[in-house]
Every structure is written in structure tokens, then in C-alpha cells.
Amino acid sequence: MNFNPHIAECRFGYGLSPIIAAPSGLTEMLDGLQEPDDAQAQFPIPPFRYMQDALARRRRWSSYARKFPDTAEGKEAQKKSRDILCAVRQDHDGWFAQVMLRRINTRTAFRERLVAFWADHFTAVGKGGLLRAAAPLYVEKSLRPHIAGKFTDLLIFAVTHPLMLHYLDQNTSAGPNSPLAQRRNRPIGLNENLAREVLELHTLRVQGPYDQRDVHELATLLTGLAATRNYSFKFCQNMTEPGPKTVLGRTYGAEEGMRAIRKVLNDLALHPALASLMPLWHAQELGFIHAVSAPYRDKRSYFDGQDLLEAGTDALAGGVRDGWLNRMLQEVPGIRADTAYAIGNSDIRVLDAAAPVANWAPEANLRLSPQALRLAELVMEDDPALHAALAEAEMLSVTASGQSPQGRAHNKIAQFAASRLRGDARVAAFSLGGWDTHRRQDRALPRSLTALADTLLTLKSGVLEEWIVRDVITGVVGKAC
């Protein structure tokens, strides 16, 4: 597969540099994210603590000026308060310059592009005073250190940062039945801004698979997230709404406090249709890898990309159309027809080539009585080809336990694959459809993801308890997913 460094530097960086060479390949781009952050060290931006100190100093001078407005000391205090504001505004201009210098001088432009992307995704803006200049410091502390890590970490650090809590008015959100509300004569409002932002923009999307009840329940669960006067994070137990909360069908206990908030954010980082896979995710037994097909600058066709993924090479113009998995089988000594299985009704192109491969589909169910089966064997025993075909059909119609696969098509496929992999088979390849959607993805995607989750769990229960997790590769290819 061709890698064009000029295109990569423009699409995933900030354009070509006259003095810094573009990355030579995808590996160099990705490895750069794991290396020390030289641009951050060369062009530093202070941590959020800088803003907290400035807020504390300005608050003290402003308080003194309000108490003694007509004295010389009071006027001097007011001047020092304004000086702090002007200094922070000037520093903000310098931070912007540092960001630009990082983008111009970095050898890992992909990092800077990712920082900008996630800063936009998790937008948080101060609404007055010194906090108007705080966004670069928020990005520096909460987002930049985690761009090469897990999305869950990004989500948690962004949602619990004091600037985000200020931006979305979470500081004043308390449960109507919280201890704080019980001590006051006037009601305390529950603010849903942060909960709605988390569901609509940070994780699931607008018109996602949730309703107003989920927004309300998440808002009650997030009560307690707050900040001090100087905008350090704190969790206020006396602001939390008592009792369990149910978000997207999962209940979180009130006694867990911050643990419950981290748990719900962890859960939201995965699509709700994959909720059944959460135990595997927490046990670090599950990972997802994106399949990349083709540089679409020269080839816009989705089908060209599919050909590249199936053939495993960009030598398509030279006539290569066989599957990369079958080419691998041709190098394995002693393979038989039952070493590899192509499962399902669609063509499994990665197994197309000279090496022998058995085929099976969910409809392959030879429902014959023992007498009828014996009669068929007698009729066909003089024809080697027919007799072999009958024997294969009989073998493929049941799992290793002697039972026909049950359930929907994807369940049957997974059950059959598991039964063969528990035996002598080393490869079972199949395809789950339904990803190529062009509209109403909010309906189609949950169905496809649920089928994917069911398939993985069936494989785990049927194979992985006795096998090795890393030996199972699951790929999902589609334009919409």
C-alpha cells in the first residue's frame, strides 16, 4: 500500500516544512506519539495551576479594594487586580504563539493535529474574567497527555476538569434531595448541561439511543462534581442525589460516589449496543483495531479499498486477486480441507485461492432420519465424489457437540466456527454484514453492533475458554462504521 508523505503531512499535520522532513511512513507517524513530547518542552505552556494562582491573587486584591474603595491602599489594590488581568491576557497571546510554534517546528505534526482535534471535541471555555484565557491551560493538562491513550481517559479528564465544570454550570448542580438541599429553605437546581453534553457531543451523538430520562439520570449521577473557589477539582458528597441511577438500562449505586461517575463514563466510551462486551473490556481481553484500506487520493472507489483489504497487497494491477489468508495457508505443511473454513453465504475473499478450504452456511442442516441417511450412503457409495460430498454435508450440519447451531444467523456462524476451532481447524473466516449504511444509522448501527457483540461472546464461550485470546482476529470493514 503506497504511503505519500506529502499527503500525510498535509492531512494529518500542518503542511510541509522547508526544513523538517515529512514522515517516511505510517509507522513513523504512530511511533512519534509514543516518544517524548519535544514540542511541549521547547515551547512550554504553563499548567492550569498558573490560572488558579492568578485567580487567588486577584480575588484577594479585589476583595481588599471593595472593602476600602476610597483609600489609597484600596485604589492600589484595585490597580494590582487590573494588572493581573492584563498580564494574563498578554500571557494568553503568548500561549497562542507557543501553539503556533509547536505546529511549525514539531517533528511530530500528527500529535499537534490530534491535540487540536480533541480540543475541539471537548471544548471548554471560560465565561468571564481570567477564565476567558484558561482554555490553552485546560488542553495542556487534560487532553494533550492522553491523545495517544484511551478515549476513556480523555473523556474522564475532560469532563471532570474545573474549566469544563465551570463552562457547563456543573458547579451549581445539586440533587434536589441531597444533604445540601435539605439544609436550605430554597430549592437547589439540578443542571443537565454537562449530562446532555456528555451524551450528545462527547460520546453518543445527537439523536442517539437515549431519551430525556437518561439525560436526567446522568445529571443526578454527576452531582457532586465541583470546583473550589480557586478552581481546583473537588467532589462534594453533600451535593449528590441519593439513591441508585439508571442510565441506558444500567444501574449505578449512589454509595459509589466518584467510582460510579468513572464507571458510567467508561461505559459511555463504548457504544451501548456493545454493553455486553464491557466485562471483556475491563478485563483487558478485548481490543479494537481499525482496518485501513487504501489512500483515496488516487483511488476513490470503495470497492478498490475492499480489494486491497482482501488481497493484502496493492499489486492488483498485476492480476493478484487471491486472498492473503489463503496464500498463508499454502505455506503451511499438511493442510487439509478441514484446516480452514469459509463460513456464511457471502464469498470470503481472503480465503479464495489454491489452498483447500471447506465451506459452510447457516442453512447447511442435513435433516435426515438415521434410516434415510443410511439409504443415501448406500445409493452413493459407488460414486466417490457424491459419497464424499454426502459425508462432508453430514459433518458440516452439526457442531462438535453433535447439535445443530441454534439462534439467528450470526449466532449459528459463531457456534459453528467455535465447534471447528475446538477441533483440528486452525482458521475460521466469516463476514458480518449490515455496516454499509447511508441513512438512519441510528437504527442500523445498533443492530450490527449487537450482532457483533453476540458473535464475540459466543466465540469466547465456545473457544476462548480453552484457547488463547490473541489467536482470534475479528475485523469489521465498512463505510459507516
With pLDDT > 70 as the criterion, what percentage of the chain qualifies?
81
Q: Is 165 exposed, middle or buried (0-12, 13-18, 19+ CB in 10 A)?
A: buried
Going by pLDDT thresholds of 50, 70 and 90, the confidence category of residue 406 is low
Residue 431 has a pLDDT of 83
Going by pLDDT thresholds of 50, 70 and 90, the confidence category of residue 254 is low
Going by pLDDT thresholds of 50, 70 and 90, the confidence category of residue 220 is very high
Largest CA distance in the chain: 116
Residue 122 has a pLDDT of 95
What values do phi and psi take at 123, rounded to 5?
-60, 135
Mean of the per-residue pLDDT values for the chain? 82
Amino acid at 16: L
DSSP 404-468: ---SSHHHHHHHHHHHHHTTT--EEEE-------SS-HHHHHHHHHHHHHHHHHHHIIIIITTS-
- What pairs with residue 157 in β-bridges? none
Quick one: cell of 470?
490473541
Quick one: cell of 344?
456464511
Going by pLDDT thresholds of 50, 70 and 90, the confidence category of residue 473 is very low
Question: Does residue 404 have a pLDDT over 60?
Answer: no
Mean pLDDT of 408-428: 84
Going by pLDDT thresholds of 50, 70 and 90, the confidence category of residue 477 is very low
Residue 113: closest CA among 256, 1, 11 = 11
Mean pLDDT of 307-334: 76
Instruction: List the single range of 23-27, 82-86, 269-273, 424-428 with lowest mean pLDDT.
Output: 269-273
Q: Which residue is it, cell 453518543?
A: 204
What values do phi and psi take at 219, rounded to 5?
-60, -40
Q: CA 473, CA 481: separation in Å to the nearest integer?
A: 18
3-state secondary structure of 359: strand
Model pTM score = 0.67
Residue 113 has a pLDDT of 94
Mean pLDDT of 332-357: 84
Question: Does residue 190 have a pLDDT over 60?
Answer: yes
CA dihedral over 115, 116, 117, 121, signed as positive or negative = positive
Amino acid at 119: A
Residues 45 and 95: beta-carbon distance below 8 Å: yes
Quick one: cell of 262?
468513572
Going by pLDDT thresholds of 50, 70 and 90, the confidence category of residue 134 is very high
Quick one: cell of 305?
479499498
Q: CA 203, CA 210: separation in Å to the nearest integer?
A: 12
Q: CA 401, CA 454: separation in Å to the nearest integer?
A: 20
Rg for the chain (alpha carbons), in Å?
30
Residues 197 and 122: beta-carbon distance below 8 Å: no
Instruction: Count CB atoms within 10 A of the CB of residue 338.
Output: 17
CA 228 to chain centre: 32
Q: CA 218, CA 120: separation in Å to the nearest integer?
A: 23
Going by pLDDT thresholds of 50, 70 and 90, the confidence category of residue 365 is low
Instruction: List the single range of 331-340, 386-395, 405-414, 441-450 with lowest mean pLDDT.
Output: 386-395
Question: Does residue 479 have a pLDDT over 50?
Answer: no
Mean pLDDT of 238-262: 84
Going by pLDDT thresholds of 50, 70 and 90, the confidence category of residue 296 is very low
pLDDT: which is higher, 367 or 156? 156
Map out the domains of the chain as residue ranges. 1-145, 149-269, 302-362+405-471
What values do phi and psi take at 225, rounded to 5?
-70, 120
What values do phi and psi take at 290, rounded to 5?
-80, 135
pLDDT: which is higher, 296 or 175? 175
Q: CA 408, CA 415: separation in Å to the nearest integer?
A: 11
What is the DSSP-derived secondary structure letter of residue 402?
S
pLDDT: which is higher, 57 or 464? 57
Mean pLDDT of 286-299: 58
Residue 278 has a pLDDT of 75
- What pairs with residue 227 in β-bridges? 233
Residues 430 and 349: beta-carbon distance below 8 Å: no
Instruction: List pLDDT tens digits, range 47-69.
Output: 999 999 999 999 999 999 999 99
Instruction: List pLDDT tens digits, range 135-183.
Output: 999 999 899 999 988 888 999 999 999 999 999 999 889 988 888 888 7
Q: CA 106, CA 130: separation in Å to the nearest integer?
A: 29
Residue 472 has a pLDDT of 41
- What pairs with residue 250 in β-bridges? 247
pLDDT: which is higher, 233 or 439? 233
Residues 202 and 159: beta-carbon distance below 8 Å: yes
Going by pLDDT thresholds of 50, 70 and 90, the confidence category of residue 476 is very low
Residues 91 and 133: beta-carbon distance below 8 Å: yes
Mean pLDDT of 384-400: 63
Going by pLDDT thresholds of 50, 70 and 90, the confidence category of residue 394 is low
Mean pLDDT of 102-122: 94
Residues 306 and 324: beta-carbon distance below 8 Å: no
Q: CA 398, CA 418: separation in Å to the nearest integer?
A: 12
Q: CA 279, CA 56: separation in Å to the nearest integer?
A: 44
Residue 42 has a pLDDT of 95
